[in-house]
Amino acid sequence: MEVLDSLRKKIDQLDSQLLALLEKRFAFSEEIGTIKKKNKLPVFEPSREKQILSSVLSKARKHRKFYAAFFNNILSYSRFLQQPPEVCYLGPEGTYSHLAALAFFGEHMKGMPCETIEDVFDNYEQFGVVPVENSTEGSVASTLDFLVEKDAPIVGEAYLKVSHCLLAKQNVKTEDVKTVYAHPQALAQCKHFLKELGVETVQTSSNAKACTMLDSKSAAIASEFAATKYSLSILKRQINDVKDNVTRFLVIGTVPAAPTGKDKTSTVFSLPHKPGSLHRALGILAEKKLNMTKIESRPSRLMKWEYLFYIDFEGHAQDRNVKEVLGSLKEYATSLKVLGSYPAA
């Protein structure tokens, strides 16, 4: 028992030291916030935060997952002390977009739910979070279109594992359900489960919206997070047909992200209508050994029979080789827009 008491005293001493150090850190954060406000500097700097996390985790021998969550929370609260970031996302509360925003900014953010993806683009003043592609259902067309048509630079990205649940009001049983409400993409991702269930399906603007439409004979497809938010019971977990289901989200903002050394650049361009034009454009990236992480084509909504090519590749627009590639693409392409350079998730 003496050994146990001794160890507990040491832990108590360490807890006191940790508390004192955290108090000092938060005091410095508030000082930095004052300086930033005076000099009109952005509170949230993704590149700086990524460097902090990388430095901390490089020194950790064990418990890396815990340290990542712990320091993310510290960074989130430090931002809150300076000025909570205002973040628009596809609402209402409880959507996967809401979850992605919390994953990126931490719980100490000022969330601003929007009814549609276009509303996120139109109403954000600091940041917005929008879904861009899913590993099973592909790209979100409206997000790609608005990235072209609106002034909304990409400043970050987040990947979120999607695990759908069948939710209902308290005391409702699975056999009572005649109608299931959900976003079209969620319905598509759970089509085999829904077919076996033999129910009518109704599309909604979001899965969280579906949670607000329930009665004693209906259910919604949404996350466990949504179940908690709307006090619903979980009839069944992991109902998506493909279990390894991931959605990529983009963070749009007003202040460009600085280079971190592990970045991604997103572009969209159109090409001359002649044989081999795409091959030549991709050759420009290959010459500089830039690794392409995404390529997709879509019809332009601005010009008839014009196709746009969305390409993501590793590197930052301030890197010399990326600058050269963008310069060459600008000369060759009929149009080019750099959608943003940002830390890779």
Mean predicted lDDT score pLDDT of the chain? 91
pLDDT of residue 108: 86
Q: Can you give the pLDDT at residue 244?
A: 86
The catalytic position among 249, 269, 309, 313 is: 249
Task: Express each pLDDT in 64-106 by its tens digit.
Answer: 889 888 988 898 888 888 888 899 999 899 999 999 999 999 8
Domain boundaries, the chain: 19-82, 87-162+246-253, 165-236, 263-343
**Locate tokens 């969280």: which residue?**
208
The answer as to CATH 3.30.420.40 being correct for domain 165-236 is no
pLDDT of residue 213: 93
Which one is predicted more confidently, 45 or 199? 199
Task: State the distance between the two ends of the chain, measured CA to CA, in whole angstroms.
Answer: 47
Query: pTM score, two decimals?
Result: 0.82
- pLDDT single digits (tens) 14-40: 999 999 999 999 999 888 988 988 888
Nearest to 195 by CA among 235, 239, 237: 239
Q: Is 260 assigned a catalytic role?
A: no
Question: 263-343 domain in CATH 3.40.50.2300?
Answer: no
The whole-number pLDDT of residue 16 equals 93
Fold of 87-162+246-253: D-Maltodextrin-Binding Protein; domain 2 (3.40.190)
Q: What is the reported pLDDT for 4?
A: 86
Domain 19-82, CATH class in plain words: mainly alpha
Q: Are strands 263-270 and 307-314 parallel, antiparallel or unpaired?
A: antiparallel
Instruction: For 131-174, write each residue's pLDDT tens digit.
Output: 999 988 889 999 999 999 999 999 999 999 999 999 999 999 99
Q: What does each C-alpha distance from 85 to 50, 75, 109 come to in angstroms?
A: 17, 12, 5
Is the previous residue joined to 131 through a cis bond, with omega within 30 degrees of 0? no
pLDDT-based confidence at residue 337 (cuts at 50, 70, 90)? very high
User: For 292, which DSSP code?
Assistant: E
What is the secondary structure of 27-56 as a DSSP string?
A: HHHHHHHHHHHHTT--S--HHHHHHHHHHH
Tens of pLDDT, residue by residue over 296-307, are 999 887 777 788
What is the model's pLDDT at position 206? 86
Confidence check: pLDDT of 1 > 80: no
Contacts of 242 (CB under 8 A, 6+ apart): 135, 136, 189
Which residues 6+ apart lie within 8 Å of 237 measured at CB? 163, 165, 224
Fold match between domain 87-162+246-253 and domain 165-236: yes
Contact 96, 160 (CB under 8 A): yes
Quick one: what percent of the chain has pLDDT higher than 70? 100
Structure tokens at 79: 């931002």
- State yes or no: is 247 an active-site residue: yes
Residue 45: HSE in the Cβ half-sphere, 13 Å Cα cutoff: 16
Catalytic residue among 95, 204, 247, 267: 247
**What mean pLDDT comes out for the span 318-327?**
93
CA nearest neighbour of 111 among 81, 141, 80: 80
For 273, the token pair is 């209508």
Give the pLDDT confidence score for residue 181 in this predicted structure. 96
